[in-house]
Amino acid sequence: MNPQSTLPPTPAALPPKTGDPSAPAGPGSKGPRSEVKLFSGLGHVALAVWAVIVIVPILWTFLAAFKNTSEIFSSPWTLPAELRWENFGRAWTKAHVGRYFLNSVIVVSCSTFLTMLLGSMAAYVLARYKFWGNRAVYFLFVSGLAFPVFLALVPLFFVVKNLGLLDTHTGVVLVYTAYSLPFTVFFLAAFFKTLPSSVAEAGMIDGCGHSRLFFQVMMPMAKPGLISVAIFNIIGQWAQYQLPLVLLSNAKDKWVLTQGIADISVNAGYEADWSGLFAALTIAILPMIIVYAVFQRQIQAGLTSGAVK
Amino acid sequence: MRHGKYPFVIGFLFAPVALYVTFVIWPYAQAFQISMTNWRGLSAPQWVGFDNYRRLLDDGAFWKAVQHHGVLLLALPLITIAIALFFAFLLNVGGKSSGGQRQGVWGAKFYRVVFFFPQVLAVAIIAVLFQMVYRPNESGLINGVLMKFGLEPVLFLVKPNLALWSIIAVLVWQAVGFYVVLFSAGMASIPGEIYEAAEMDGATKVTLFFRVTLPLLWDTLQVAWVYLGIAAFDAFAIVAVLSVDGGGPDGATTVLAMEIYRNAFVYSKYGYASAMGVALFFLTLTFAALTLRLTKRESVEY
């Protein structure tokens, strides 16, 4: 189970460095070749082991979702004797996974839409217009990248409460959006800067207003950047746990999926409904796998593009 | 571009700035102020100056949390980056080279998809999943196997000196795939001729890794270190859900975020919780500044 044992040797284990970088590493061709074989052999083993470590817990969860409690305890490693779909029914209705799922979809789609709209508007103006205070507003946004959410948690709770938005989806959507703006503005401002100004000028000459130019010319041109950031925001907001925990604590029917599943895991112990918990977990995990499998290229690119220029 | 510029700029900036200031800037500013009061939510807050901070210095739970951040800060980036670098190297340049094109080992595409997979799952969901994996009896994934072989079950989350490492393992499990992809993107931008030339000079795979890939990847590594460091300062969802009674057993896995949450929303000690938040803020800031300073070096042009 320990992947560290297959790590490459430390620099100390390397052959001593000769001053001349072009000096051959080994005296003959035999040494390096067998080393290559060993290296790639170990590499294959390491990769396969890690793939197993990633896949097995998830697969095991899916299987356990079809078992009953006694099967889960007596034979955790065997296939379920029969496919007990009623576990899913119980998780969906009795444990309210269906509602939590729907809540997550509602909250994340609203807040991602709002984040993208407001974020791209702000980023566009900050990137392409010269005006007094431009830098100040830009740094105000970007400074948010450096702050841990936990610093603001207590006052945030009271701000939302005083606005009468505690235990409402509106409150959560607005807060998600606000906390997603720093990265969104930071990323998109850089992106809008790279777009050619000749197209914008042509649009202007044709009598295009500022807003129309933005929505009909710049937005379509910025599509690759917008998709990257949207994926980043969807995954981030879908995974949120601390904010809904604080902002929706007293409205159980408004809870999002992460909150709901965490709560079910506590209750499953009391009620000994382990198969229901596995079914709930499966319902939470499976759609993400499917969406990821379909869009994996865009998702990988979207999540890493912020870090590599 | 002159006509109607200001109305447009103001119109476009108003909503985002208003939202951002209300829910982000204003709470952050207040946090510093609340941390100087003894506010408990019911009566009006009273100014107590640095009292909360003085109390922090004597708070065992606080220091335990800080200590855990220290462990996380070393272990999480080191282990994650080491594993991810090794895999990324295998997947991108570990295979044969044909016609100047560096290739990864067989199945590289499959591995990159699978490894990344935990990244799209919410940490809270992963925490519940690993509760099941770590269960101390035969119903747990790992202990189920161990007990089949007649071995003693391992009490992953219950043993105080093991619990934090069990949590770190889950964080590494989740993070590796992202950094494999991140490093892959960095490695893809290293020109193949460099490897070609090095190989012609007789460099082995290991030499290639340490003398070519690593130096040319320095910027990406720095980014990875900062990301993982910031993750090490958060770790709330995983500790809150996975550990025994939120940071247990007996505070063995607690983190600052957990203590802030507990003090604020369980004990209603808002002033004290805010002081912890401020401490967390300065720790994070110090870490980021130190990392950027210490890892600063000439980036290699190519």
Q: Is B47 helix (H, G, I), strand (E, B) or coil?
A: strand
pLDDT (0 to 100) of residue A32? 55
CB contact under 8 A, A51 and B139: no
pLDDT (0 to 100) of residue A49? 92
Domain assignment of residue B240, yes or no: yes
Domain assignment of residue B249, yes or no: yes
Q: Is A216 on the interface with B (CB under 8 A)?
A: no
pLDDT (0 to 100) of residue B196? 80
Domain assignment of residue B35, yes or no: no
- What pLDDT digit, counting tens, does each position of A246-268 carry? 899 888 888 999 998 888 888 87
Count of the separate structural domains present in chain B: 1
Whether the pLDDT of residue B222 is over 70: the answer is yes
CB contact under 8 A, B12 and A157: no
Chain B, residues 193-252, CB within 8 A of chain A, namely 201-207, 209-211, 220, 223-224, 227, 230, 233-234, 236-237, 240-241
3-state secondary structure chain A: CCHHHHCCCCHHHCCCCCCCCCCCCCCCCHHHHHHHHHHHHHHHHHHHHHHHHHHHHHHHHHHHCCCCHHHHHHCCCCCCCCCCCHHHHHHHHHCCHHHHHHHHHHHHHHHHHHHHHHHHHHHHHHHHCCCCCHHHHHHHHHHHHHCCHHHHHHHHHHHHHHCCCCCCHHHHHHHHHHHHHHHHHHHHHHHHHHCCHHHHHHHHHCCCCHHHHHHHHHHHHCHHHHHHHHHHHHHHHHCCCHHHHHHCCCCHHHCCHHHHHHHHHHHHHHHCCHHHHHHHHHHHHHHHHHHHHHHHHHHHHHHHCCCCC
**Which residues in chain A have their CB less than 8 angstroms from residue B148's CB?**
77
pLDDT (0 to 100) of residue A309? 42
pLDDT (0 to 100) of residue A4? 36
- What pLDDT digit, counting tens, does each position of B234-291 carry? 888 899 888 887 777 888 888 988 999 988 888 888 888 989 989 888 888 888 888 8
**Which residues in chain A have their CB less than 8 angstroms from residue B114's CB?**
51, 54-55
Whether the pLDDT of residue A37 is over 70: the answer is no
**Which residues in chain A have their CB less than 8 angstroms from residue B83's CB?**
3-4, 7, 50
pLDDT (0 to 100) of residue B298? 58
Question: How many Å lie between the alpha carbon of A238 and the closest alpha carbon of chain B?
Answer: 7
Domain assignment of residue B23, yes or no: no
Nearest CA in chain B to A122: B13
| Most confident segment among A33-42, A190-199, B272-281 | B272-281
pLDDT (0 to 100) of residue B97? 57
Give CA–CA dist B36/B17, Å, rounded: 28
Domain assignment of residue B180, yes or no: yes
pLDDT (0 to 100) of residue A208? 77
**Which residues in chain A have their CB less than 8 angstroms from residue B129's CB?**
57-58, 61, 281, 285
Q: Is B73 on the interface with A (CB under 8 A)?
A: no
- What pLDDT digit, counting tens, does each position of B134-192 carry? 888 777 888 888 887 878 888 888 888 889 999 999 999 999 999 999 998 888 888 87
Chain A, residues 282-301, CB within 8 A of chain B, namely 284-285, 288-289, 291-293, 296, 299-300
Domain assignment of residue B213, yes or no: yes
Domain assignment of residue B51, yes or no: no
pLDDT band for position B89 (cuts 50, 70, 90): confident
Residue owning tokens 């105000």: A140
Q: What is the mean pLDDT of chain A?
A: 81
Domain containing residue B136: 59-295
Please indicate whether residue B4 or residue B222 has the higher confidence score (pLDDT). Answer: B222
pLDDT (0 to 100) of residue B96? 62
Domain assignment of residue B13, yes or no: no
Looking at residue B246, which CATH number applies to its domain? 1.10.3720.10
- What pLDDT digit, counting tens, does each position of B90-148 carry? 888 766 655 555 666 777 888 888 999 898 899 999 999 998 888 887 778 888 888 87
pLDDT (0 to 100) of residue A5? 36
- What pLDDT digit, counting tens, does each position of A127-168 carry? 888 888 889 999 999 888 877 788 888 889 999 999 999 899
Whether the pLDDT of residue A26 is over 70: the answer is no
